Amino acid sequence: MATTAGVQDKPTVWLKLAHGSGAAAFGIKNNGFDYFLLLFYGTVIGLEPGLVGLAIFIALTFDAVSDPLVGYWSDNFRSKWGRRHPFMYAAALPVALSYFMLWNPPELGQTGLFFYLTGLAVLIRTFITFYETPSSALIPELTSDYEERTSLQSYRLFFGWTGGTMMSIIMFGALMTGPLGMLDPQAYATYGVVGSLMILVTILISAIGTHHRIPHLHRPVATGERYTVRRIFREMFETLSEKSFIALFFATVLFAIASGLAAALSFLMLRYFWGFAEFQIFIWTCTVVLSALMGFLIAPWSVRKIGKKQSVVVLGVLAFTIQPAPVLLRLLGMMPENGDPLLFPLVLGINVIDLALIIATQAVAYSMIADLVESNQVKTGRRNEGVYYAATTFTRKVTQGIGVAAAGAILSMIAFPEGAEPEAVPAETLWKLGAFYAPSLLVLYLGALYCISRYRIDKAGHEENLRKLAESRGPQA
């Protein structure tokens, strides 16, 4: 056996709150990268949008190596504080400091800004991995229950989405209310201060709040085999070659790219394509909390009713056909014109429901990763939660990588004017923006749902894996 110790099958609400609250740090970081980074560097500072996307894509190549290595390291780390918590504590200050620096750049030319952004993107994404991967990897350790794992993941996504949304509310409700609005550089500097402090606090709350569970978590057992580069990559390959994981990995990659593309262009679509005023965008942002709450409730309920894979497929089909629908209808001339009093409540209502379904889909899909742990343990004798969740962290950061790169490429291809007022953007340019945006999302989402259909572990299969592991531990009981 690779590990010892048991798991708590019914985590308390307080434990779920403590564990889940830390996801706000990832949500805050994502909020900045997804919604404001391209706008800040590409419009306010004046770095060419394609270079912004390239900088994030370069950081993504570092993630492809660092994420699984951090996951493997945390799976095999030995300390008096267990496998996960030393990483969580160590990440708090570095990620907060680097996030602050991102939004307070020095005065540099195009080349200097590009290298500054690239370097900080690498640092932030590496530091956040040191927290997010070990923290997420606690889910299968805190409970082996099929439904409870979805509940734990729902708490994480609720706090992740809410944490990020609160930053947007602060931006639109307080920081961007000056005469320069969304083009005010001081607003982004203050955003960096507030965001970095919130990241620091939420990481520490989560680490401290789950600290008491350390004695009950799994511990790696020494095998006597020396760690070598060959052994590390052999074990990671064995872990990640699970067929259900491969299906889930490609699904989450496609989900993440689509989400990143939608997020990076979100405010441009709202302000320019739909012509919404800044106060309307503020209201739009506030309703994300409502969607997060709805998704938080829908995900566990759907798993109890129809299981995980079926939940993802059903919720996904609903969500991913609804999301691009308003844009496609506008391209066909079947939506109210900009300025029509019916347009904002119509598009807003559709978005609230659609986003709730997307969040629920994400919660269920991410919870499916936890069930891979025992399946892999039956085959290899090792628990590799960190490696699996590193892959999840990687795919979620693809949201900023390929998604932002794609958004930057679209803006470059359609020659979207930098810093222009909505009325100054040609109608043809806006039509091209929608024509690239909606079909791209639809194709990516449908591809992800096809990948999900290849996942094979259901509740019965998970419980059978637990039974086999219990039998193997029998003589030691």
Q: At what angle do helices 49-76 and 229-240 cross, to 10 degrees?
A: 100
Q: State residue 151's pLDDT score.
A: 94
* 3-state secondary structure (DSSP) of residue 3: strand
Q: Hey, how many other C-beta atoms are within 10 angstroms of the C-beta on 329?
A: 13
Sorted by where each starts, the structural domains of the chain and their CATH numbers stand as: 18-218+228-470 (1.20.1250.20)
* 3-state secondary structure (DSSP) of residue 220: strand
Q: Hey, how many other C-beta atoms are within 10 angstroms of the C-beta on 393?
A: 29
Average pLDDT over residues 7-23: 86
pTM tops 0.85: no
Q: How far apart are CA 258 and CA 261, in angstroms?
A: 5
Average pLDDT over residues 366-375: 88
Average pLDDT over residues 250-269: 82
Which H or E run includes 219?
strand 219-220
Q: How far apart are CA 59 and CA 404, in angstroms?
A: 12
Question: Does the pLDDT at position 345 exceed 90?
Answer: yes
Q: State residue 477's pLDDT score.
A: 40
Q: Which two tokens mark 165?
A: 């949304």
Q: State residue 134's pLDDT score.
A: 93
Q: Hey, how many other C-beta atoms are within 10 angstroms of the C-beta on 234?
A: 11
Q: Which of 181, 154, 161, 175 minimizes the C-alpha distance to 311? A: 154
Question: Does the pLDDT at position 227 exceed 80?
Answer: no
Question: Does the pLDDT at position 3 exceed 50?
Answer: no
Q: Hey, how many other C-beta atoms are within 10 angstroms of the C-beta on 15?
A: 20
Q: Which residues contact 475 (CB under 8 A, 6 or more apart)?
A: none
Q: Which two tokens mark 112?
A: 């200097």
Question: Does the pLDDT at position 41 exceed 60?
Answer: yes
| Cα of 447 vs its chain's centroid, Å | 19
Q: How far apart are CA 77 and CA 247, in angstroms?
A: 28
Q: How far apart are CA 385 and CA 156, in angstroms?
A: 16
Whether 99 and 29 have beta carbons less than 8 Å apart is answered as yes
Average pLDDT over residues 456-472: 86
* 3-state secondary structure (DSSP) of residue 46: coil
Amino acid letter for position 348: L
Q: Is 342 exposed, middle or buried (0-12, 13-18, 19+ CB in 10 A)?
A: exposed
| Cα of 419 vs its chain's centroid, Å | 28
Write phi, then psi, for 276 (nearest 5 degrees). -75, 145
Q: State residue 6's pLDDT score.
A: 42
**pLDDT tens-digit series, residues 146-167:** 899 999 999 999 999 999 999 9
Whether 369 and 388 have beta carbons less than 8 Å apart is answered as yes
Question: Does the pLDDT at position 401 exceed 80?
Answer: no
How many residues would you count in the chain?
A: 477
Q: Which residues contact 244 (CB under 8 A, 6 or more apart)?
A: 372, 375, 454, 455, 456, 457
Q: Which two tokens mark 357?
A: 């379904």
**pLDDT tens-digit series, residues 64-106:** 778 888 888 898 888 999 999 999 999 999 999 999 999 999 9
